Amino acid sequence: MKSRVHPKYKTKHRIGNWSEYDRALVQRGNLTIWISEGAIKSWTPAGTGRRGGQHRYSDLAIETAITLRLLYHLPLRQAEGFLRSILVLMGLDLEAPDHTTLSRRSRDLDVDLRTAGLRRGRHLIVDSTGLSVVGQGEWAAAKHGGSGVRGWKKLHLGVDENGQIVAEVLTESNADDGGTVPELVDQIDGRVRRFVADAAYDQRSVYEVGKAGGAVVVVPPSSASVAARKSRAHHPARDRVVAHVRRVGLRTWKKDRGWHQQARAENTVFRYKRIIGPALRARDPGGQQVEARLACSVLNRMMEMGRPASYAVR
């Protein structure tokens, strides 16, 4: 399929650190797993002293099992067996959480998004994608002869200028893209200097968030955009963008404003679906939230091993 963009407008890139990046890609498949002394000591939590059953496994143990499940695409029972075999091979006197415990505890697990090299004043590049999910209703419909239509949820990702995931939000499929921007921005440690997204975020609320935080909003106006006060998306900054696009053209505006940086978010979405998969394995909403955040942490960990250093070829 030929590109719609004329070849003379394309910029070719080359990877300057290919040998290092190649070794990093190979290292991502390394099966060497080790458990630190601190993790071993905290594997079984101390009793709370309260009445009722006590947890046999710490949150760290549950998080480890769920992470291995995501990384190696395992059902819960196989994830239990996989972790158990690792503990046996390492000669550790530890037990692996059973699959029912993993399913129950993952709903309320409190996990943080793992990032590296955080620095203030970053760029926030946003995009969203759909992740399919099979609920009880769809499964029952398929079992009894129905169509079994698959449901799906929407994952909103915010990456920095290096392609690292710095914010994520999992919503229902009918959620508005622009409505998730405040929550994404709140997850950033420090000031966002520049916000980049596609035309789906061409909304007044997005410009309001950018104005409140002092960020430059780089969002192309939609095809039906109108720079007038009668427009529901009216905002002074947006009106200036619409007028500028009409004056110089959309292609020139994108090049001048550096909008093509948005491809970093699109590439991150591709990496998520390629490595983690296009579907959510958990059925409980809480478990799905935890799964999405752990998956983003896995992708960031892979980027820590090495990333390509590309440069434009004139």
Summarised one tens digit per residue, pLDDT across range 24-80 is 889 888 888 888 888 888 898 876 667 766 678 889 999 999 999 999 999 999 999
Same domain, residue pair 12 and 80 = yes
Domain shared by 99 and 130, yes or no: no
Distance (Å, rounded) from C-alpha 11 to C-alpha 312?
Answer: 7
Full residue range of the structural domain in which residue 209 is found = 122-282
Q: For residue 61, how many other CB atoms are within 10 A of its CB?
A: 25
Q: Is there a single domain that holds both residue 79 and residue 155?
A: no
Judge if 278 and 156 occupy the same domain: yes
Q: How confident is the model at residue 214 (pLDDT cuts 50, 70, 90)?
A: confident
d(CA 116, CA 43): 25
Residue 228, in any domain of the structure: yes
Domain assignment present for residue 230? The answer is yes
Whether 266 shows a pLDDT value over 90: the answer reads yes
Report d(CA 11, CA 47) in Å as an integer.
60
Q: What is the pLDDT of residue 1?
A: 46
Q: Note whether 71 and 211 are same-domain residues.
A: no
**Angle of CA points 210, 309, 31, to nearest 5°:** 100
What is the number of structural domains in the chain? 2
Q: How far apart are the C-alpha atoms of 11 and 184, rounded to whole Å?
A: 31
* Domain shared by 65 and 130, yes or no: no
Where is the domain boundary, 110, 141, 160? 110
**Within-domain flag for 312:** no
DSSP bridge pairs for 133: 151
- Given this model, what pLDDT does residue 65 score? 94
Do 245 and 155 share a structural domain? yes
What is the predicted pLDDT for the residue at 225?
63
Same domain, 68 and 170: no
Give per-residue pLDDT as tens, 140-193: 555 656 555 568 899 999 999 888 999 999 999 888 898 999 999 999 888 889
* Residue 288 is assigned to a structural domain of this protein: no
Whether residues 184 and 81 share a domain: the answer is no
pLDDT band at 15 (very low <50, low <70, confident <90, very high): confident
Same domain, 59 and 26: yes
CATH number at residue 211: 3.30.420
Is the domain of 252 the same as that of 186? yes
Task: Let me know if residue 117 belongs to a domain.
Answer: no
pTM for this structure?
A: 0.84
In a domain, 127, yes or no: yes
